[in-house]
Every structure is written in C-alpha cells, then in structure tokens.
Amino acid sequence: MLKRKEAEDGIRRLALEWMRETDYRPKPGWYPSFSDFKQWLEANHRSLYLNFRSEIGAQTEAEGWFEAEIGNYCRQMNARGTAF
C-alpha cells in the first residue's frame, strides 16, 4: 500500500502520460474517462497507485486527482494559446 502523497504524485504524473500515449484531446462538454485511465494503469502494471488509504475511498480520490491534473494542464495550454 502506498502513502497517500506517493499515490497522488503518481496519479498526477501518470494522468499526463496517459494523455500523451492515448492522444487525448479535450472537447467541450467531454470529460476524460477515469475508467479508461484505470484500465491503462492496469495494462501498464501501475495499478498500485490506486492502493492507498483514503477517507473518501481511493478510487474516488484518485479520480479527483486525475481530473484536476488534466484540467490544470488544459487551462495552462489555453492560457498560452497552445493548440492541443
């Protein structure tokens, strides 16, 4: 079992890696699929990042980190005027 901070750092880093590998492109009204990300983690033997203690549940918390990281990245790209 990972420490919560290790899991968060890993999920946030891997969310961006997932975006690059799957060529994820944001679309209005369309959110990235956490279940697709979870399957990608499992396929790449990285599901250990979903194994940590959490008061709200590890899956729920990891999904929040995943969505927040992708949202932050997209906002930064939009602010720079960089195309995806």
Question: Which element (helix H / strand E) includes 50?
Answer: none
- 83: pLDDT strictly greater than 60: no
Grade residue 82 by pLDDT with cuts at 50, 70 and 90. Answer: low
Question: Which of 23, 19, 32, 42 shows the shortest CA–CA distance to 64?
Answer: 32
Burial 51-62 (b: 16+ CB within 10 A, else e): ebeeeeebeebb
Q: For residues 59-77, give the mean pLDDT.
A: 92
Give the pLDDT confidence of 14-46 residue by residue, as tens digits.
999 999 999 888 777 777 899 999 999 999 999
| pLDDT at residue 31, as a whole number | 76
Angle made by CA atoms 37, 42, 47, in degrees to the nearest 5 = 90
What pLDDT sits at residue 26? 77
